Amino acid sequence: MRVVVGERMGGPEVLAVAEREAPRPGPGEVVVDVAAAGVNYMDIYQREGIGNYRPEPPFVPGAEGAGTVAAVPVPDGMNLQVAAAAILQGMTAHYLCTSTYPVREGDITVVHAAAGGVGLLLTQMVKRRGGVVVGTTSGGPKVELALQAGADHVVGYDRFRDIVDEVSDGAGAHVVYDGVGRDTFDDGLAALRPRGMMVLYGAASGQVPPVDPQRLNSGGSLFLTRPTLVHYVADATELRWRAGEVFDWITKGELDVRIGGTYPLSDAARAQEDLAGRRTTGKLLLLPGL
């Protein structure tokens, strides 16, 4: 079995492809012959040993994939690359807008990095719930992609507060979905209406420094949460519900999954560099078959 291994914590150079003995499934487990593996920010946090992500070296990064035997049944006929691209980020977008802050018709939402992997899926899901999406991107072709996903407004990170102000008649956003973190957090908090919710779900630009709870008071009795997927797929029922809805929407053509780039396993480091370097849109996949 070929795996990507990190021999120690560090930059992309610590990653290398190695041979390992194929695992044997224990009770209640399956072995998946992976056809496509998703590249996620979590893999970068693991490699760098950031926050709660501190695997013991040597470690095998990665948390997403699809293959011939799966713990989550993939509907018959679904392309395995699409399944791999949709599962982690699809369930993330799903829990963010259905459970963390359940978007209602007319709610004004901010979706940061709207042309990213989570961003494109979240934008589409907020729209199907009737929300208004103010999306941010760094510009260029990312603007068009976010608009195609259904965003009502797509602007740079320096302008989203003005647009929220405009579309809400000064009231502010109901929710800010922020996977960018350090660079956007303060403006996001300031863009919320009283009792609005800051959903800080990632740190693409770096970790947000400690927050004084009094800021939530002066901002208007705001809510702040830092959710993680694992707590929103707490048991098999919840996991099957979220994965089932995501796959159902894809099968019906109601959710578009954009695969922004595919890489051979030996280019795992380059995939992570491209992701962290803001050079990507949609989802990145490692394909062992390439």
Ligand X SMILES: NC(=O)c1ccc[n+]([C@@H]2O[C@H](COP(=O)([O-])OP(=O)(O)OC[C@H]3O[C@@H](n4cnc5c(N)ncnc54)[C@H](OP(=O)(O)O)[C@@H]3O)[C@@H](O)[C@H]2O)c1
Q: Which of 46, 81, 89, 100 binds ligand X (CB under 6 A)?
A: 89
- Phi, psi at 284, each rounded to 5°: -105, 140
Residues between 26 and 65 that touch ligand X (CB under 6 A): 40-42
> Cα(188)–Cα(181) distance, rounded to whole angstroms?
10
Q: Which of 138, 218, 221, 225 binds ligand X (CB under 6 A)?
A: 138
DSSP label of 266: G
Amino acid at 164: V
- Separation of alpha carbons 116 and 119, rounded Å: 5
Beta strand pairing call for 192-200 and 223-225: parallel
Kind of pairing, strands 15-19 and 2-6? antiparallel
The least CB distance from residue 181 to ligand X, in Å, is 6
Instruction: Output the smallest distance, CB 32 to ligand X, in A.
Output: 20
Residues in 218-247 at the binding interface with ligand X, rule: CB under 6 A: 227-229
Query: Alpha-carbon distance 69 to 286, whole Å?
Result: 18
> Does 119 interact with ligand X (rule: CB under 6 A)?
yes
Does the footprint of ligand X cover residue 201 (CB under 6 A)? yes
Please tell me whether residue 4 binds ligand X under the rule CB under 6 A.
Answer: no
Q: At closest approach, how far in Å is the CB of 120 from ligand X?
A: 8
- Alpha helices, DSSP H, located in the chain: 41-48, 80-95, 117-128, 141-148, 160-167, 185-191, 214-218, 229-232, 236-251, 268-276
Residue 131 touches ligand X, criterion: CB under 6 A: no
Q: For ligand X, which is the closer residue by CB, 146 or 193?
A: 146
**How many residues of this chain interact with ligand X, rule: CB under 6 A?**
30
In the bound state with ligand X, the residue whose beta carbon lies nearer, of 197 and 275, is 275
Asked if 116 interacts with ligand X (CB under 6 A), we say: yes
Calpha distance 38→283 (Å, rounded): 7
Nearer to ligand X, 123 or 205 (CB): 205
- Closest approach, Cβ 157 to ligand X, in A, equals 7
Question: How many angstroms separate the CA atoms of 3 and 19, rounded?
Answer: 6
Binding site for ligand X (CB under 6 A): 40-42, 88-89, 92, 113, 115-119, 137-138, 142, 179-180, 183, 201-205, 227-229, 275-276, 278, 280
